[in-house]
Amino acid sequence: MRCSIIPPYLLRAVAEAGPEPARSRARETLLVDAEVRRLREDARAPGWAAGAGEAVAALAPKRTVSDAHHGQPPGTVVRHEGGPATGDGAADRAYDGLGATYGFYAQVYSRDSLDGRGMPLRASVHVQRGWDNAEWDGERMLFGDGDGEVFGDFTSSLDVIGHELTHGVTQYEAAFDYQGQSGALNESMSDVFGSCVKQWSLQQTAEQADWLIGEELLLPGVHGVALRSMKAPGTAYDDPRLGGKDPQPANMRDYVETSEDEGGVHLNSGIPNHAFYLAATAIGGSSGEGAGRVWYAALRDRTLTPQADFAAFAAATLRAAQAVGGSAPGAVRAAWTAVGVEPTGS
């Protein structure tokens, strides 16, 4: 499974209305993304990584960063775990981002890497020339440098790194199908924990966080603050070069029925994203320790199927919230009610 941070509808908008060379870079990115999706089979791992999330001794990442030299990954290894900084900003930011994401999962959830069993973390930077994306390809992180007009370097955003690596966690846990509501849940899990990684790194509470995804990617001159807003889906940008106004819905009444973007996985993720924001701010404190602990337990709920919809996942969060106790059950139920989702069986 390949999961990219920039959805195809944004790339098409830049390809049609962006400035040069961004327009050409977006067209090339669409072609590259389509080709790699065609060539690569779904890398979803079968089954559940038993023991993931349980206490593990001596947790430590195993990172390797490679330079693709504006070509195909993986490229040349430039930094191993524990090695000195390279002086290449992209390579060193990727290394640090892998470490921050690993550290979040290890320290907050006692999870040893993406699979829960110490999986090495690999990344390639400078993929293609002016590639407008970052993605988890099922085995490693890939980072483009951006077009320099609309999108900047894709290693510059920690929540984007956390987002893409969380696709790996989902791959080894719920393995949500990348289509329709289950695909939107897949994307939402990545936004949720990508934001938690950034908040944890900055030592922010839910109330202090900006709840923006990819804030650092939009270059000066672009009318927008980020790729997505979990606090206010549909408000992240309004720029003709990005296709106009951010189209993400925040409520089921505005759910987007479409055959594009795998059934709107990047669009409709705004609904469960907003539910998490509401739950996290209602519970308060650290998002990772509060609502994040509920969402993480739900992600690992063995009753969920890969085809789970919003209602099924909401029910899983309620079960998890009951186990947590305190204000969590009421906050979680109120959050899903506010976005128009009725938990299955409740």
Given the residues 126, 163, 167, 266, the one annotated as active site: 266
274: tokens are 């907003």
Q: Does the active-site annotation cover 80? A: no
Given the residues 135, 149, 164, 173, the one annotated as active site: 164
Q: Does the active-site annotation cover 167? A: no
46: tokens are 């079968």
**Secondary structure, 3-state, the chain:** CCEECCCHHHHHHHHHHCCCCHHHHHHHHHHHHHHHHHHCCCCCCCCCCCCCCCCCCCCCCCEEEEEEEEECCCCEEEEECCCCCCCCHHHHHHHHHHHHHHHHHHHHHCCCCCCCCCCCEEEEEEECCCCCCEEECCCCEEECCCCCCCECCCCCCHHHHHHHHHHHHHHHCCCCCCCHHHHHHHHHHHHHHHHHHHHHHHCCCCCCCCCEECCCCECCCCCECCCEECCCCCCCEEEHHHCEECCCCCCHHHCCCCCCHHHHHHHHCHHHHHHHHHHHHHHCCCCCCCHHHHHHHHHCCCCCCCCCCHHHHHHHHHHHHHHHCCCHHHHHHHHHHHCCCCCCCC
41: tokens are 């089979």
Residue positions annotated with a catalytic role: 164, 266
